Chain A
Amino acid sequence: MHRILEARFLAPDIKLFRIEAPKIARKRRAGQFVIVRVTADGERIPLTIADGDPEAGWIALIVQGVGKTTRLLNTLEAGDAIQDVAGPLGAPSHVENFGTAVVIGGGVGTAIAWPTAVALKQAGNRVISIIGGRTRELVILEDEMRRVADEVHPTTDDGSYGFHGLVTDKLQQLLDEGRTIDFVLAIGPVPMMRAVAEVTRPHGIRTVVSLNPIMVDGTGMCGGCRVEVGGETRFACVDGPEFDAHQVDYELLALRNRAYVEFERARLEEFERRRHEGPCRLERQLEELGREDAGSATPRA
């Protein structure tokens, strides 16, 4: 069991957890992830490690509540515990001094991009960060990014904050201004990553994306996370999760990510229905799931 030291919402449905995990905290490097099981009979989900402290022995995870498991996780508070956390998994980000590096995060993708932005800065890069969201409250980690990046450009699709437009519009603007860009890291929804790849391709800028396929074990054993990169089948969990943005078959990735969409929707609806039947019911359910402390499980609905 891994105790939660801190839990707070960064945006509606996006929550940051600091979790006790001393071994993982000692080993983790930017770009790596963990596999989490929230309860003793839950599914295994991959979550990127957003931050960590090897001395204090914690890692940070930033979770967007999109399905049953992530919503359940987001009901947990400091003092609660998570059943299983395995990692750090995947290959670390390839970090070197490229010159000027643009780090692009879309929505919760910013959480995944943030640790690599830190590593890029430490490696001597000039770091420009573009962090986008549909609307103002979905732009996360701006203060954290400002602490590491030389420039931060928040963008919103609806113009409610920062640059009015997509992250790719901002990237295009920088290129049109004649800015030198040596490296781009883009992490976010599949269409966003694909669009970034198309913006940088004509300029020949080295571009990397972090892929988020469905995983089960996360150690190379099942092959469920296979993606096609440059026409070759690769396993995101051991060969990635980062790959050359210009070589990825995004259409296949998007299709494969929808493989269980009906099942996921049904599970989520069932979860939300039960949750709205009242906190007592949820507490009972969590207790049945073997939680140590169900007392603080009142949902913030």
Chain B
Amino acid sequence: MAEFLPPKERRLIPRQEMPEQDPRERIRNFAEVNLGLTPELAIREAQRCLGCKNPKCVEGCPVGIRIRDFIFAIVEEKFDEAARIIKQDNSLPAICGRVCPQEEQCEKLCIVGKRDRPVAIGWLERFVADHERERGIPDPEPPARRSGRRVAVVGSGPAGLSCATDLARMGHEVVVFEALHELGGVLVYGIPEFRLPKEIVRAEIDQLRKMGVRFETNTVIGLTATVDELLGSEGFDAVFLGVGAGLPRFLGVPGENLIGIYSANEFLTRVNLMQAWREDADTPVLDVAGRDVAVFGGGNTAMDAVRTSLRLGARSAKIIYRRSEAEMPARNEEIAHAREEGVEFVLLTNPLRFDGDENGRVRSVTLQRMELGEPDDSGRRRPVPVPGSEYVEPIDLAVVAIGNSPNPLIGRTTGDIAHTRWGTIVADEKTGRTTRRGVFAGGDIVTGGATVILAMGAGRRAARAIDEFLTTGVWDDPQVAHGTG
């Protein structure tokens, strides 16, 4: 067993480095970039934790993982115990350890981070989850009681999976409905293999199956069955809507429908879900090898798309973003990885129009320089155009990664569920209750495009509220801050 060091010595340990594939090597494959901490590195990193009496890190965690306790278990080399602690609050640790924006959450509040770099909580979480999975996850314990109540979970992304896990543990019968042919939502169609291997998503979903959760793919709620039918003829006692933010937004500039301009959803779906990177895939993706690619946007999805284009052989790959790097919503690690791989960042620049050839293929984009003006509604400084700064950039492929609007399918076919004027579903922040009795919602369909962990947090809060509703039968209308329209 490793020892707990006195605080002074703990402070002398530098943050351990994550072993990763060499950038020159990794841009030629889709294998994971971060290789994961070894047990030695993990213990060393865990020894940096000061073990605060009132740990601040937990306050930064949307699902409230007992971070200090699991880190101490790592120091004691009780890795299985560490996994058990994490899984009390987070059913998908191998996923969150990879894709959570820790620097904005737990690690941001870490006391070590005040003088040095914070404890690498995310990497430790990932280590614990991987260690457990590689040795074979023990089968989940069956719930203590069966409630006899049935819950329909709509969408198998992070919100739906975490909600389903908790409901199953509480003894409710859960059926998860997924529109696509594969389970995992954004975890499989959106986030690329090199950041989140699909095998990990499958392993987590297998755990849910073992807990008795049933999955129905190819089922589009709103079309194959409506929410009314789920609560009526299908015999469910409650419904959780975790359908994500469905419709990709485009830039609204001329020439945007030329061939070679993809939404990030389409580009990533073709490559990730439909495996277009494979030689023998039946789903094509436009040839990127030796070509110039421009990705519009500054979030994680933009980084995923630009780095995917490099792996498909792009000659040049640019991020074009209208604000500065400080405003980029992407995780620091993704930005750093992209830069190491040779992605060029064209900041404070905005597209004005696309032009194509006689076959309708995009050939160039006209760009305009921006400068930062006064802060806007989001608190970020608003980019304003610099007059006379227009220039033409030749491109062969463009990917638009500026976010998604909510999918209208459920609203169209279900009454009584209020939507905001942005098309998101109105839901109580604490409970996920919508304006319709028995129907809860969480994740991007409520918040608009956000993160995996926020969606998971919403799924878990909704699970608690659903349990309470099923137990007591009490329904209060949602408390919502913003108006409907």
Complex Cα spacing A213 to B224, Å: 22
**A228 & B282 in contact (Cβ 8 Å cutoff):** no
Question: Which one of B95-103, B158-166, B242-250 is at the interface?
Answer: B242-250
A87 within 8 A of B: yes
Q: Which of A110-118, A156-164, A258-266 contacts B (4 or more CB under 8 A)?
A: A258-266
Chain A interfacial positions (CB closer than 8 Å to B): 23-24, 27, 37, 41-44, 68-69, 83-89, 216-217, 219-224, 226-228, 233, 235, 238, 252, 255-256, 258-260, 263-264, 267
The stretch among B139-147, B212-220, B427-435 that forms the contact with chain A is B212-220
- Bound together, the chains give a CA A44 to CA B256 distance in angstroms of 24
Known: A235-B247, A267-B282. A24 touches B224 (CB 8 A): yes
Q: Inside 8 A of B259's CB, which chain A residues have their CB?
A: 255-256, 259
Expressed in whole angstroms, the minimum distance between the Cβ of B483 and any Cβ of chain A is 26
**Judging by beta carbons under 8 Å apart, are B359 and A255 in contact?**
yes
Produce 1/0 per residue, B43-72, CB < 8 A to A: 000000000000000000000000000000
Contacts of A83 in B (CB 8 A): 181
Contact between A43 and B274, CB atoms less than 8 A apart:
yes
Interface centre among B189, B224, B262, B359 (most CB of A within 10 A): B224
Number of CB contacts from chain A to chain B under 8 A: 113
Q: Does B156 contact A (CB under 8 A)?
A: no
Given contacts A217-B269, A221-B407, A222-B265, contact A87 B223 (CB under 8 A): yes
15 residue pairs of the A-B complex, CB under 8 angstroms, read A27-B223, A41-B275, A88-B224, A216-B274, A217-B189, A220-B246, A220-B407, A221-B265, A221-B269, A222-B248, A223-B247, A226-B257, A233-B256, A233-B257, A255-B359
Q: Nearest CB to that of B413 among chain A residues?
A: A27
Q: Are B257 and A252 in contact (CB under 8 A)?
A: yes
Among A86, A89, A227, point to the contact of B181 (Cβ < 8 A): A86
- B residues less than 8 Å from A219 (CB atoms): 179-180, 220, 246, 407, 409
B221-268, CB < 8 A from A: 223-225, 246-248, 250, 256-257, 259-260, 262-263, 265-266
Q: B2 contacts the other chain (Cβ, under 8 Å)? A: no
With both chains docked as a complex, state the minimum distance between the C-beta of A294 and any C-beta of chain B, in angstroms: 19
Q: State the majority secondary structure of interface residues on A.
A: mixed
How many whole Å from A226's CB to the nearest CB in chain B? 6
Chain B interface (Cβ < 8 Å from any Cβ of A): 179-181, 189, 217-220, 223-225, 246-248, 250, 256-257, 259-260, 262-263, 265-266, 269-270, 274-275, 281-284, 286, 359-360, 407-409
In angstroms, Cα B426 to Cα A253, docked, is 36
Please report the C-alpha to C-alpha distance between residue A44 and residue B94 in the assembled complex, in whole angstroms: 29
- B59 vs chain A, min Cβ distance (A): 35
Verify A221–B248 contact, CB threshold 8 A.
yes
Given that A27-B225, A252-B360, A259-B259 are known contacts, is A223 also in contact with B220, CB under 8 Å in the complex?
no
For B286, the chain A residues whose CB sits under 8 A away are 259-260
Decide if A260 touches B407 in the complex (CB within 8 Å): no
Bound CA–CA A233/B250 (angstroms): 9
What distance in Å separates the Cβ of A208 from its nearest Cβ neighbour in chain B?
19
Cβ B247 vs Cβ A27 within 8 A: no
Chain B residues, Cβ within 8 Å of A228: 257
Note all chain A residues with C-beta closer than 8 A to B180. 86, 217, 219
Residues of A within 8 A of B181 (CB): 37, 44, 83-84, 86
Contacts A27-B225, A87-B223, A217-B179 known; A223 to B250 CB distance under 8 Å? yes
Q: Distance in Å from the Cβ of B192 to the closest Cβ of chain A?
A: 16
A23 touching B217, Cβ below 8 Å: no
Q: How far is the CB of B144 from chain A (nearest CB, A)?
A: 34
Bound complex: CA of A37 vs CA of B219, how far in Å?
A: 14
CB distance B224 to A224 under 8 Å?
no
Q: Min CB distance, B260 to chain A, in Å?
A: 8
**In the complex the two chains form, what is the Cα distance from A83 to B217 in whole Å?**
11
Name the residue in B217, B281, B284 with the highest tally of chain A Cβ atoms < 10 Å from its Cβ.
Answer: B284
* Contact A23 B247, beta carbon cutoff 8 Å: no
Apart from A41-B282, A44-B181, A233-B257, what are 14 other A-B pairs with CB-CB below 8 Å?
A: A23-B219, A37-B181, A43-B281, A44-B274, A86-B180, A86-B220, A87-B224, A217-B189, A220-B247, A222-B263, A223-B248, A238-B247, A252-B360, A256-B360
